[in-house]
Amino acid sequence: MPITDLLERNSKIYPTDTALVEINPDNQPEKNTTWREFNLTELASESDRYRREMTWKEFDTHANRFANLLFTRGIKRGDKVAILLMNCLEWLPIYFGILKTGAVAVPMNFRYSFEEIKYCLELADVRMLVFGPEFIERIDNIKDDIQAVDELFFVGKAEETPSYADNYSLTYYCSTQAPPVEVKDEDSAAIYFSSGTTGFPKAILHDHSALMSSCITERAHHGQTKDDVFLCIPPLYHTGAKMHWFGSLLTGGKAVLLRGVKPEWVLQAVSDEKATIVWLLVPWVQDILDTIDRGELSLSDFRLEQWRLMHVGAQPVPPSLIKRWKKTFPNHEYDTNYGLSESIGPGCVHLGVENIHKVGAIGKAGYLWKTEIFGDDGEPVAQGEVGELAVSGPGVMKCYYKNPKATAEVIRGEWLLTGDMAKEDEDGFIYLVDRKKDVIISGGENLYPVQIEDFLRANDKIKDAAVIGLPDRRLGEIAAAVIELKDGVLCDENEINEYCLGLPRYKRPRRIIFDRVPRNPTGKVEKPRLREIYCGERLVEAQTKA
């Protein structure tokens, strides 16, 4: 059954129950000031309010309206419609409206430059682009060059609508009835873009059955019920945030879209909206704990007793960080999910709340999934040996759109090669070692940066760390550690080198660089950016950071 059926079911069974809430902390009213609850019938002209919400009935109604608007513009089955929006209340109704027409939704990274936007629009053969006010300048730069895109819709205040676009409010003149389109499981549903860590992104094509499978897997892993409230902070263009929200879609539970990541905003949203499940990225976990440790937030100021599950994903999770979290929040269940956009996001590997003793592992094969670890010869490696992780299951992509060569490089029979190096322990739990392309070969030894990074992050003075390979005439490569210290901390290179004596000699970083560790919106360290900065440059003496 296609995922659009779930929305229509919820609209009938839970018509007046809240489906989505948007919280915009930048517009928070003064203390003790009341505000009226806001629903989508007033739409983007009121998008500067602190809180907006809509029911399941309204959600489905606005998805239908947008679908019918697409029909008036000639969009048909298989056409591509791109979404370039920050997280907002309109995002998901637009996404589902596209799916209801049989067209293909193309979510786009809100950090793309105008060159990347143009590239992705052309790669995916996009016919219509829906964008928000944050992107006007970028679209201005390319509007005359994107010939295939013949329709642009602006989600924002009418008076801010660019002359070359129509306003989303036109949906109000469209029918609220579901469009007469039969959507099948095998129909193409969405194109997501890879992280673009090796140049421009690749377009990842999924069908409706993959989307539906993620609902089922997410519910099996986290046991959502109708009473759960999911706090969604990561960007909806990414498979991670949306596929975790699919658990709420399956159960009819409420979800809260928080437009901001400050620790006080997160805890306030959990408290006010009675959130029970929160998915965080590693930097946000660190920020929350650091803010509490500095005494800038007091847990007693918030209503947090209903919060039952905190889970983390999108990148390797340092065990030391989760130990800190459990010390601060001892009653929380903890989980981690591993996935990639090519496997419809998180869930193909899953730790499980019952396996807290295995913190550091990404887990075992997720519900409905299989895993294997292959060596360079294409054969499974022995338990405990390092190889490339492969996954097989209902969420594997159809292909890289218009790129059969790249598709053939990662799909081998039933297996999707992840590009992640991993090993399995004696209990069958999988541990990530590193990205295949990030392995450093120094003097003939394979160095796995994640292992060194985990060691460094266990230092109380270090907020974040990233290890990259730098060219070396004698050894080929050497390990360089880019270290971001906690605010107000004094530390120098000698102290870090002394701390690293706890590592085997060959794993110790040969260079220490004090700098900010850049991460993308999904929390992954931007190692290509670090290599661009430091490879080929003459490294200067690392300076003490105050």
Tell me if residue 355 falls in helix, strand or coil: helix
pLDDT for position 286: 85
pLDDT for position 268: 95
pLDDT for position 233: 92
Backbone torsion region of residue 362, taken as left when φ is above 0, otherwise alpha when ψ lies between -120 and 50, otherwise beta: alpha
Q: What are the tokens at 346? A: 């998180």
Q: What are the tokens at 101? A: 């027409």
- Rounded Cα–Cα distance for residues 135 and 131 (Å): 7
Backbone torsion region of residue 313, taken as left when φ is above 0, otherwise alpha when ψ lies between -120 and 50, otherwise beta: beta
pLDDT for position 47: 54
pLDDT for position 169: 93
pLDDT for position 522: 64
pLDDT for position 146: 87
Q: What is the CATH number of domain 4-220?
A: 3.40.50.12780
b/e 79-109 (16+ beta carbons within 10 angstroms → b): bbbbbbbbbbbbbbbbbbbbbbbbbbbbbbb
pLDDT for position 540: 38
b/e 50-67 (16+ beta carbons within 10 angstroms → b): ebbbbbbbbbbbbbbbbb
- Please list the residues that pair with 152 across neighbouring strands: 129
pLDDT for position 236: 93
- Rounded Cα–Cα distance for residues 541 and 232 (Å): 42
For residue 251, what are the contacts with CB-CB under 8 A and spacing of at least 6?
A: 219, 224, 225, 226, 228
- Rounded Cα–Cα distance for residues 30 and 33 (Å): 5
pLDDT for position 199: 57
Task: Tell me whether the CATH fold assigned to 4-220 matches the one assigned to 445-534.
Answer: no
Domain boundaries defined on the chain: 4-220, 308-435, 445-534
- Rounded Cα–Cα distance for residues 479 and 470 (Å): 6
Spell out the per-residue pLDDT of the chain, length 546, in tens: 899 999 999 999 999 999 999 999 887 765 433 333 333 334 444 556 789 999 999 999 999 999 999 999 999 999 999 999 999 999 999 999 999 999 999 999 888 888 889 999 999 999 999 999 999 999 999 998 888 899 999 999 999 999 999 999 999 999 999 999 999 999 999 999 986 544 578 999 999 999 999 999 999 999 999 999 999 998 899 888 888 999 999 999 999 999 999 999 999 999 999 999 999 888 789 889 999 999 999 999 999 999 999 998 756 677 888 899 999 999 999 999 888 899 998 889 999 999 988 988 999 999 999 999 999 899 999 999 999 999 999 999 999 999 999 999 999 999 999 988 899 999 999 998 877 777 787 766 678 788 898 899 889 899 999 998 888 766 778 899 999 999 888 999 999 999 999 887 888 999 999 999 988 766 778 887 888 788 754 343 333 333
- Rounded Cα–Cα distance for residues 244 and 40 (Å): 23
Domain 308-435 has CATH 2.40.50.840: no
pLDDT for position 399: 96
State the CB neighbour count (10 A cutoff) for residue 501.
8
Q: How many residues does the chain have?
A: 546
Contact assessment for residue 142 and residue 164, using Cβ atoms and an 8 Å cutoff: no
Fold of the domain spanning 445-534: GMP Synthetase; Chain A, domain 3 (3.30.300)
